């Protein structure tokens, strides 16, 4: 039913609260960030118009470039692993069993917990001298590294902890995808003598490509915004080997009081996300099978 007559004017009342807040706290700031990126401003002195100065400076900013590279390295490590782990979990749990229900709860605990809290848990466990991980390694004769304070290992740790936290989330997305696949497809393959390995590659995976696409889009958008785990686990160290884009935004806004510069960075971040999502959407025709 659509409201007509004198009732139709009520739409204003229904939309006003939400829209006023959206305008004030989302739309205006987005536009303001664009304007702000053209200024140099420390909040104390008068803002100074620098046109595209911030962007040209960004292009030559080694720290920012390093942060972009680290973000990409993070994505390159995190994305494939979390997708494989999440999909494996979904395949293992895609059956009716009480144990499967319990397992879903277990794999969800990291997903619902605050990043700050779980990152601190891992920071304690990865402590090089008193952490339980290195103690366990010592039992099998391995002298564990200083996980969060060694170049290389620091990024590996950040990726591993991120996979640990998000695997359950990826799992639930894939479970939904798997449950949409008609059972007789796989049964037919079974009867034809295909082993599970063949069934997975020839039947399940092709039918699952729409979900794979959706999951990869979501994860990619999220992982460009990686921040909290880095902030708590490594703080960008050691020797700035794990700095990431959002962390650079925070540092420039806070520590260096460069509001315009930070705003310019946030636009670059947006551009990255936008372009990558666009490319993904364009490429999907080549490998995603939509049924029907």
Partner 1 sequence: MADSPLQVADRSIVLPRKRAAVRLRRSAGWLVLGVLGLTMIFPFAWSLSTSFQGTDRLLQVPPQLIPEAPTLDAYRRVAEVIPLVRILMNSIVVTLSVTILQIITSALAGYGLARFKFKGRQILFLLYLGTLMVPFQVTIVPLFIGMSRLGWLNSLQALILPMIASAFGVFLFRQYFLQMPDEMEEAAAIDGAGPWRTFWKVAFPYARPVAATHGILAFMASWNSFLWPLFIARDEQSMTLPVGLASLHGRYQTDWNLVMAGSVIAVVPVILVFAAMQRHIAAGLLLGGVNR
If one asks whether residue 269 binds partner 1 (CB under 8 A), the answer comes out as: yes
Question: Judged by CB under 8 A, which stretch of 50-58, 145-153, 184-192, 281-289 contacts partner 1?
Answer: 184-192
Find, among 255, 246, 261, 252, the residue nearest to 57 by Cα: 261
Find, among 67, 41, 72, 71, the residue nearest to 54 by Cα: 41
Q: How far is the CB of 97 from partner 1 (least distance, A)?
A: 9
Q: Return the residue of 38, 66, 72, 125 that touches partner 1, per CB under 8 A.
A: 125
Q: How far is the CB of 38 from partner 1 (least distance, A)?
A: 13
Identify residues 38-67 at the interface with partner 1 (CB under 8 A). Answer: 43
Find, among 176, 186, 184, the residue nearest to 206 by Cα: 186
Q: Return the residue of 45, 60, 96, 184 that touches partner 1, per CB under 8 A.
A: 184
Distance CA 50, CA 264 (A): 12
Kindly state the tokens that stand for 175: 């479970």
CA dihedral for 197, 208, 290, 215, sign (positive or negative)? negative
Binding residues for partner 1, rule CB under 8 A, total: 97
Other C-beta atoms within 10 Å of 241: how many?
17
Question: Judged by CB under 8 A, which stretch of 22-30, 141-149, 151-159, 283-291 contacts partner 1?
Answer: 22-30
Residue with tokens 């536009």: 31
Binding characters for partner 1, 192-231, by CB under 8 A (x = yes): ----x-----------------xx--x--xx-xx-xx--x
Q: Is 48 helix (H, G, I), strand (E, B) or coil?
A: strand
| Closest to partner 1 by CB, 28 or 59 | 28
């Amino acid at each position: 039913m659509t409201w007509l007559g004198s009732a139709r004017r009520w739409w204003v009342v229904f939309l006003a609260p939400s829209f006023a807040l959206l305008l004030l706290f989302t739309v205006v700031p987005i536009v303001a960030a664009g304007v702000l990126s053209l200024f140099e401003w420390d909040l104390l002195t008068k803002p100074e118009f620098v046109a595209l100065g911030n962007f040209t400076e960004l292009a030559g900013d080694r720290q920012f470039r390093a942060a972009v590279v680290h973000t990409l390295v993070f994505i390159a490590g995190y994305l494939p692993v979390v997708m494989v782990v999440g999909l494996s979990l979904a395949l293992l749990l895609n059956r009716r069993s009480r144990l499967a229900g319990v397992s879903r709860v277990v794999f969800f605990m990291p997903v619902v917990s605050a990043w700050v809290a779980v990152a601190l848990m891992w920071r304690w466990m990865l402590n090089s001298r008193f952490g339980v991980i290195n103690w366990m390694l010592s039992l099998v004769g391995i002298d564990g590294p200083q996980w969060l304070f060694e170049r290389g290992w620091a990024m590996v740790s950040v990726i591993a902890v991120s996979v640990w936290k998000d695997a359950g989330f990826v799992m639930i997305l894939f479970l939904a995808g798997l449950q949409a696949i008609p059972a007789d497809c796989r049964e037919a393959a079974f009867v034809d003598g295909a082993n599970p390995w063949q069934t997975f590659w020839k039947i399940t995976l092709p039918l699952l490509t729409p979900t794979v696409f959706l999951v990869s889009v979501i994860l990619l958008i999220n992982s460009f915004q990686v921040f909290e785990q880095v902030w708590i686990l490594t703080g960008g160290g050691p020797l700035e080997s794990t700095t990431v884009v959002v962390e650079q935004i925070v540092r420039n806004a806070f520590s260096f009081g460069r509001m315009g510069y930070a705003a310019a960075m946030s636009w670059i971040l947006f551009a990255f996300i936008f372009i990558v999502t666009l490319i993904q959407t364009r490429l999907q025709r080549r490998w995603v099978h939509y049924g029907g």
